[in-house]
Amino acid sequence: MKVGVLASGGGTNLQALIDAAARGALGPAKLAVVGVNVDGCGALERARQAGLATFVVDHRAFADRATFDRALVAELRVRQVELLVMAGFMRLVTAELLDAFPGRVINIHPALLPAFPGVDGQSQAFEYGVKIAGCTVHFVDRGRDSGPVIAQTAVCVLENDDEDRLRQRILEEEHRLLPAVVRAIAEGRVTLEGRRVRVRAAIADETRLRSL
């Protein structure tokens, strides 16, 4: 399954996908292209270092979001992308993009949705005083961080935590969760029933579980 990744920033989630692919942990998923809207961002550098195909589409060059999305779709289609992963992509997408990849656009969010959508979910949770924070991988729909939840990881807020330490621990869990979800989708183990997403365990895990 050809995977396209969209990013805007440092690209550590992209790096987690690159590293997972290198150790064979993405199953049949293959990173086909990395697209960024910010030229020179860390994600672009990481993609180039990994020898991946890349493109830069600067959103400021477009009159509106729909036109920008059409340009993204054109680039992704050229590389026959089948699954689109938003790994720190800081633009709201429109139906132009979602309709081009129905049920095949996912996003990683640094909070336990539906709590704390939008930017800086980590600091929203920290400021709120939650005891359990975490991250979410979800299907992207036309809302803001409102699509069906695929998987989540909880991260305890420690008594001596400050926001940066919490942010780092959440990020480490993001780096585990996102590759696992990409692999599960590529292995056909993810199904959507209404808003509920079923993720069947990896065959190896099922075998291990049965052997217990």
145 is a contact residue toward ligand GRF (CB under 6 A): no
3-state SS, residue 117: coil
**Of these, 47, 98, 108, 112, which contacts ligand GRF (CB under 6 A)?**
108
182 is a contact residue toward ligand GRF (CB under 6 A): no
124 is a contact residue toward ligand GRF (CB under 6 A): no
CB of 167 to ligand GRF, least distance (A): 8
11/27 with CB nearer ligand GRF: 11
The 70-89 site mask, x for binding ligand GRF (CB under 6 A), equals -----------------xx-
- 196 within 8 A of 148, measured Cβ to Cβ: yes
Residue of this chain nearest to ligand GRF (CB atom): 88
117 is a contact residue toward ligand GRF (CB under 6 A): no
- 79 within 8 A of 33, measured Cβ to Cβ: yes
The span from the CA of 15 to the CA of 116, in Å, is 25
The span from the CA of 150 to the CA of 1, in Å, is 18
Cα–Cα nearest to 90, from 53, 135, 37 = 37
In the numeric block, which tokens belong to residue 18?
A: 């690159």
Query: Catalytic residue at 138?
Result: no
35 is a contact residue toward ligand GRF (CB under 6 A): no
**Of these, 2, 9, 45, 117, which contacts ligand GRF (CB under 6 A)?**
9
- 72 within 8 A of 97, measured Cβ to Cβ: yes
- 121 within 8 A of 41, measured Cβ to Cβ: no
- 88 within 8 A of 43, measured Cβ to Cβ: yes
49/191 with CB nearer ligand GRF: 49
10 is a contact residue toward ligand GRF (CB under 6 A): yes
Please give the positions annotated as active site.
Answer: 109
Residues that bind ligand GRF (CB under 6 A): 7, 9-13, 43, 87-88, 108-110, 171, 174
